[in-house]
Amino acid sequence: MNDLSNPNLVSWINVEKDSDFPIQNLPFGIFKTSQTAPHLASIIGEFVIDLALLSRLGYFEAFKIDQSIFANNSLNDFIGLGKPLTNAIRTRISELLREENPELRENSEHREKIFHKVSEVQMLLPVEIGDYTDFYSSIEHATNVGTMFRDPENALLPNWKHIPVGYHGRSSSIVVSGIDIHRPKGQTKADDAENPVFGPTKLLDFELEMAFIIGKQTEMGDTVSTDDAEKHIFGMVLFNDWSARDIQKWEYVPLGPFLAKNFASSCSPWVVTMEALEPFRIKGPEQKPEVLPYLQYQGEKNIDIHLEVLIQPEKSTSHTVCRSNFKYMYWNMNQQLAHHTVNGCNIRIGDLMASGTISGPSSDSYGSMLELSWKGTKAIPMADGTERRFILDMDTVIMRGYAQKDRLRIGFGEVKTKILPTR
């Protein structure tokens, strides 16, 4: 356990026991207020920390960093400083917040300007995402989908246990939590119909995922080994990879998802560093058959992160429809990145790579409505007495995640998105 994860650390700022953002977390994000332009921030409890102002006031003077990096509207340049420096800055923030340190605590003039209530700021997309890759790495999810649409005895395709399957997605339509999206439209074809029709999707679905953000670039021709992968991963976010199942069914052969996926994906605003997640590493599932040497790895590479999905109808309270865990992933992030680059594909700072739908072994841990309703054959009851098989207009989908071990809890906040009617 690194020093910043010590559960005995206490801040002079009051933090609730079940907060996602204790002093041991200190993730990074981008925020703005009605008076300020977008710039870098961290968070503790219910208070957003203005890192640009901390820099201007001299609290980061020892690092000799251009102050403009903290005034950017994305984390990319900050991440590009490299982990030794970004970790040192996170350590400095932790020191300023510790109960025994009067440096900032006793400076009321600075304190009043640096801290903002969460309710009074707007969070923005944390990174400028150049490229986005979506994997398909949950064996439970892949088995469920294969069982529904193919022979249950051969649910997994022959390549699935040999490579972390993935595809290149659309980065321009990734939005931050709180941004409403419109129901997409496209071609669909009923099983008993001779020809396709055009219109809004009837089978709109969420996909419970997590994503990691690249923090160190490579050149074309370079490869990243499983041993070195963590040097290239800055941190993680919650991710909802929206899917139009009826559009996807008609279009995905032979090249995979297209319009069914590229209309929107949603992510949480705070990038939780890999260092903050280090105490929650856990052994992953046994991989049989043995994978090729470039995909083999040492140590515990899965992470124990509790995940939850809620659906909130427009005029009702939210209802939990799924509880899962990131630890179920068959292919871990190190393997995903090693496979992604094994052909010499270059990666860039800010690139986002999503896990694919995270489903667990039990029916209440399935990470999509496709599975929870078993292709629409089972109704999921809501708190207001209505039912859902897929997502309806004006529904809000909320995803939450946190890791917990003994007295240490590190969370991600939430990614929350409302579905508006087709434009």
CA dihedral 282, 205, 132, 71 (to 10 degrees): -90
Smallest Cα–Cα separation from 212: which of 399, 402, 355, 24?
355
The question of whether 110 is a catalytic residue gets the answer no
Q: Which sign, positive or negative, has the C-alpha torsion 181, 187, 189, 193?
A: positive
b/e sequence 140-172, b meaning 16+ C-beta within 10 Å: bbbbbbbbeeeeeeebeeeebbeebbbbebbbe
Distance, C-alpha 157 to centroid of its chain = 26
Smallest Cα–Cα separation from 104: which of 13, 7, 36?
13
| Residues whose CB is less than 8 angstroms from the CB of residue 210 and which lie 6 or more positions away in sequence, other chains included | 236, 237, 238, 239, 305, 307, 326, 354, 355, 358, 401
For residue 411, what are its two tokens? 């969370």
Q: Say how far apart CA 252 and CA 174 lie, in whole Å.
A: 21
Catalytic-labelled residue, pool 116, 141, 232, 340: 141
The SS3 call for residue 417 is strand
Q: Which residue has the tokens 């990666």?
A: 347
Q: Which sign, positive or negative, has the C-alpha torsion 151, 152, 153, 159?
A: positive
∠ CA 135-340-309, rounded to 5°: 20
| 3-state secondary structure string across 90-133 | HHHHHHHHECCCHHHHCCHHHHHHHEEEHHHCEEECCCCCCCEE
Which DSSP letter does residue 207 get? B
| 3-state secondary structure string across 27-86 | CEEEEECCCCCCEEEEEECCEEEEHHHHHHCCCCHHHCCCHHHHHCCCCHHHHCCCHHHH
The SS3 call for residue 269 is coil
Q: Which residues are catalytic?
A: 141
